[in-house]
Structure formats: C-alpha cells, structure tokens
Amino acid sequence: MRQDPVLVGRVRELQQQIEKLQTAQREFRQEQAFQLHLYKAERSSKFHFMSPVPSPLKKTIFKEMENSAGNL
C-alpha cells in the first residue's frame, strides 16, 4: 500500500509542531518552577537571617536566689 507523500509530509510537519509546543511548555514549566523556588528561598532566607530578638529572662530560674525583699 502506497502512502501519499503529501499526507506523509503533512503528518511530519504536524509532529514537528507538536514537539515544538511540548518543548515550549516544558521550558515554561521549568521557568515557573525556578521562579517559585527563588521566591520560596527568598522568603525563607528573609526569616532565617533575621537578627534574633532575645527573649526576656524569666525570673523562675532566680527565685531561689532572691531575698525576702525580692532582690537577687
């Protein structure tokens, strides 16, 4: 059975177009994933590298050392 060369050419052309579209979609998804990764990294580093805020000392540790006036 002979295949029509025009149809074969058209099928190959369509396959190439499909491959180009799939490649473009793949690249777009990779770029989006990379941008999301950068965004999340920026947010986490913002909180990670914040200067620490010291918590106030709790007096419960020093209760035994207090005198009757409440001084250490």
Return d(Cα 60, Cα 58) in angstroms, integer: 6
Chain mean pLDDT for the chain: 82
Return d(Cα 36, Cα 43) in angstroms, integer: 11
Place of tokens 């177009």: 17
Question: Dihedral, CA atoms, 29, 34, 39, 40, nearest 10 degrees?
Answer: 100
**What is the pLDDT confidence band of residue 42, given thresholds at 50, 70 and 90?**
confident
> What percent of the chain shows pLDDT beyond 70?
64
Position 41 pLDDT exceeds 80: yes
| Predicted pLDDT of residue 32 | 98
| Predicted pLDDT of residue 43 | 82
Return d(Cα 33, Cα 28) in angstroms, integer: 9
